[in-house]
Amino acid sequence: MEYKHISQNKTMLTDYYELTMSQAYFNQGLKDTIAYFDIFFRKVPDGGGYAIMAGLEQAISYVENLHFTEEDLEFLRQTGDFSEDFLAYLRDMEFSCDIWAIPEGTPIFQGEPILKVRGPIIQAQIIETMLLLTINHQSLIATKSSRIVSQAAGRPVMEFGARRAQGSDASVLGARAAYIGGVASTSCTLAGEIFGIPLSGTMAHSFVQLHDSEFESFKAYAESYPDNTVLLIDTYNVLESGLPNAIRTAKEVLEPMGKRLKGVRIDSGDITYLSQACRKVLDEAGLEDCNIVISNSLDEYIIREILIQGAKVDSFGVGERLITSKSEPVFGGVYKLSAVEDEDGKIEPRMKISDSVVKITNPGSKSLYRFIDNKTGKAVADLITLADEKINSDHPYELFDPEATWKRQTVMDYTLVPLLKPIFQGGKLVYDLPTIEEIRDYSKEQMKTLWPSVTRLDNPHIYYVDLSQKLWDLKHQILCQPKKH
């Protein structure tokens, strides 16, 4: 099933300067100039040690639907900023770029190209906004979800954020990204319908309040869902009212039907104390198999803390702080020109130079590799090379820190994994899209290649993204050249 907000033509979802620059290229006779662009990010959100690649499927859908309608062209005509010749060019434009990208679910790191575009400058420029939008948003939510799931210590995490997301697309696609990041289910029904994500949900306080008594509400719900009865027990008082009524429901309603109470949910109060007290009472009532579910503005730090305190929790419902990545709601992916081709097809590197070292880009058409230690199965480092470089993985390879070049490590007995996969060639899709389950399983396996020192929340080890000697030499050659002003 296609989701209309995703599959519809979004060609006009581009920053206006992409179009004004494109007409300037057109007027200069540069429309056929082949340009290279990289998407990369400079900083992992939340001071973390890794991020998770997500959003590629929606980027692909956008590119496949790329075309200007007559309504689009009429709108641009009425701005008065565009010539009829340029509008005719847009009308007839057929996407012909090459795109490479890191597969969804892969751990990614600062500074490395996670998506690469090669194609006519106008096409490559127009797609910038939407590519960044979808990759930035979903990578942010997948990363946040991965962090939260990591602290749940194997307990299921349910994504409960639909009503807190910044808009309907953010809710649905945020649920998708969260599932890639490891959550077990979502409360967003539309995300379940579109992507096949397992759905979860219990009841709201309003359901309890609507009935004349708490017990009547529990009884009604249990009779409707005897195989999956999870009761919200904090509407009035968890220990004095909610829990006793839940146990009464288990004994008087469910057990005579041959059913068991599946769980109780706590959405407020001192979670550690209440969960411990509930566990004790439930066990004494012979309901050792009744799960305790908690919600209430959770994130990775709160989950970690309450488990350290000894909270008796079996699963978590996480909403606003996940779906909005509240602690750091921006994934800073950028889209930068790295090279152009001359008329003979020779690649001429381009580089942004800045007083801020972190904003100096890596020039040229590039490839990206991950070194996996064959003895441990763990990732050692990532390496950015020029696209024409060949690495013989049968030989030792010397890695070095591109900023502190005296820090060097020779890697032996490794597997070299190319990370950038062909997605479009000549404008045609050449990538077999995996299912969301395949992406999620792949991501889970890929996370196992990272050392715990990289994935920990506090002061994570910096995972190295190194440059090949050839790329490092090119970069410093350009830096040392007289500047063109």
pLDDT of the residue at 4: 43
Q: Give yes or no for residue 2 having a pLDDT over 80.
A: no
pLDDT band at 485 (very low <50, low <70, confident <90, very high): low
Rg value, the chain, Cα:
26
The 10s digit of each residue's pLDDT in 87-113 is 999 999 999 999 999 999 999 999 999
Q: Which domains does the chain have, with CATH numbers?
A: 4-141+329-480 (3.20.140.10), 202-313 (3.20.20.70)
Task: Report yes or no on whether pTM surpasses 0.85.
Answer: yes
Bridge partner residues of 230 (DSSP): 263
pLDDT of the residue at 5: 45
The 10s digit of each residue's pLDDT in 240-271 is 999 999 999 999 999 999 999 999 999 999 99
Percent of the chain with pLDDT over 90: 94
Q: Give yes or no for residue 235 having a pLDDT over 80.
A: yes
Q: Give yes or no for residue 18 having a pLDDT over 90.
A: yes
pLDDT band at 356 (very low <50, low <70, confident <90, very high): confident
Q: Give yes or no for residue 330 having a pLDDT over 80.
A: yes
pLDDT of the residue at 430: 98
Average pLDDT (471-479) is 95
pLDDT band at 358 (very low <50, low <70, confident <90, very high): confident
pLDDT of the residue at 1: 38
The 10s digit of each residue's pLDDT in 24-47 is 999 999 999 999 999 999 999 999
Q: Give yes or no for residue 348 having a pLDDT over 50.
A: yes
pLDDT of the residue at 354: 87
Q: Give yes or no for residue 6 having a pLDDT over 80.
A: no
pLDDT band at 484 (very low <50, low <70, confident <90, very high): low
pLDDT of the residue at 481: 83
